[in-house]
Amino acid sequence: MQLAAGGFRDITRIASSNPQMWTDILLNNREVLLQMLTQWQKEMSQLSFWLKNKKAEQLYHFFEHAKATRDHLPSNKKGSIPAFYDLFVDVPDKPGSIAEITSLLAKSSISLTNIKILETREEIIGILQLTFKNEKDLIKAKAHIENKTNYHCRLQ
């Protein structure tokens, strides 16, 4: 864990999810997942062979293809992977602060798609991550929260 870079936490976020939920998802998608795992194991065996045999050209092409695939994923726009519109709100550790924010949004008819508390240690400022379905709701929510409260908001 000491060698894990900052991106490690991002790519392992599913590990912090509900284990029962993921058990159910895997079992309900068992057949297709078994096919995909078989294909992945074949690819990893090929990668292992190239690595053992110092096949630099094949390794290079493997990563070149991975990069091209990643570079063509949509970013903050409609596509095969939906965009997320996140707002980060600094909130104090006091009763009602989260309710205050969510009530304000509800009264303004702004719908949240997800809510997450990023800091939970007592007696310090917490970070509330609010996710919206579109950029319009994100901008509207930021303006409402900043105009009606003393909470600091930021986009990332």
The domains located in the chain, with CATH, are: 6-71 (no CATH), 85-155 (3.30.2130.10)
Contact predicate 115/128, CB 8 Å: yes
pLDDT above 60 (res 72): yes
- Binning pLDDT at 50, 70 and 90, where does residue 93 land? confident
Helices (H), 72-153: 97-107, 135-148
Percent of the chain scored above 90 by pLDDT? Answer: 50
pTM of the model: 0.49
pLDDT above 60 (res 81): no
Distance CA 31, CA 54 (A): 35
pLDDT of residue 117: 84
Condensed to tens digits (0 to 9), the pLDDT of residues 19-58 reads 888 899 999 999 999 999 999 999 999 999 999 999 999 9
